[in-house]
Amino acid sequence: MSTFPTRKPSDQDREQLQADLTRLVGAGRLQFDEFDQLMDVVWSTQDKSVLERIRSQYLTYQGPQTPNYSSPQPPQPPAQYPPAGFQQPVPMAQPGAQHHAVPIAGQPVSSTMGTVRRTGNWLVPAHSTFKISGSALHLDLRQANAASPECVFDITANMSTVEIIVPPGVYVENRMKDFMSSVDVQTTQPAPGAPRVILTGSSRGSSVRVITRQAPDTRSLWDRFFGV
């Protein structure tokens, strides 16, 4: 019996799917906790067909009179998002943007001897919790959308590496407690209307690094995915 070799997805495949799913979150059609679980799958799978199944299930239009019986998920109840007071999130790197508080908190993420990666177009909630041990945490905010004027990352890092990349104008305030760790925070003066990133938690025997870099083609991606 012959078998077909597994197709490994590229970073571009993962980033494209992440950007498309982020658009669903911004439109209130996908809850953040489910989005976060999907991102764990998107960035950990080595099988491109897994990405294709996610795209088919979440991004393929199903007519209102044609239930998708092939989907393993039951029909979803009427969406309760966006919540009251929700405002469309805006890019972290957009100068002078007006940010509005959104009651969204990320599901706690844990990793042991693994990698947690967030990059491209993704929604940064008001509060995120990461617990990593012997792992690498990579958060790239340059093309991300901020859900709140203040985005808190509560990080517990043990023998791990933490790298956070922010665009110029996004101020990073470090409140983490460090024990036998190296901490390097490169931040800039806050731009008018730009969100603020606050780091809380603790690091033990870890490396914490915050880098400020210019966002690559942020405007074109915003135009492409959100039509402005």
pLDDT digits (tens, 9 = 90+) for 122-145: 889 999 999 999 999 999 999 898
Q: How far is CA 225 from CA 21, 25, 81, 160, in A?
A: 10, 12, 19, 34
- Domain ranges in the chain are 11-60+88-226
Model pTM score: 0.56
Those residues whose C-beta lies under 8 Å from the C-beta of residue 201, and which sit 6 or more positions away, are: 130, 153, 154, 155, 156, 157, 176, 177
Whose structure tokens read 């039509």? 227
- Per-residue pLDDT for 20 more than 90? no
* Average pLDDT, integer, range 43-52: 85
What pLDDT, on a 0 to 100 scale, did the predictor assign at position 35? Answer: 77
Q: What mean pLDDT, rounded, does the chain reach?
A: 77
Q: What is the pLDDT confidence band of residue 181, given thresholds at 50, 70 and 90?
A: very high
* Average pLDDT, integer, range 73-89: 45
CA–CA gap between residue 65 and residue 75 (Å, rounded): 12
Longest dimension (CA), the chain: 63
* Average pLDDT, integer, range 79-101: 48
Q: Which two tokens stand for residue 155?
A: 């990080």
- Per-residue pLDDT for 225 more than 60? no
Q: How far is CA 11 from CA 24, 42, 43, 161, in A?
A: 20, 10, 9, 21
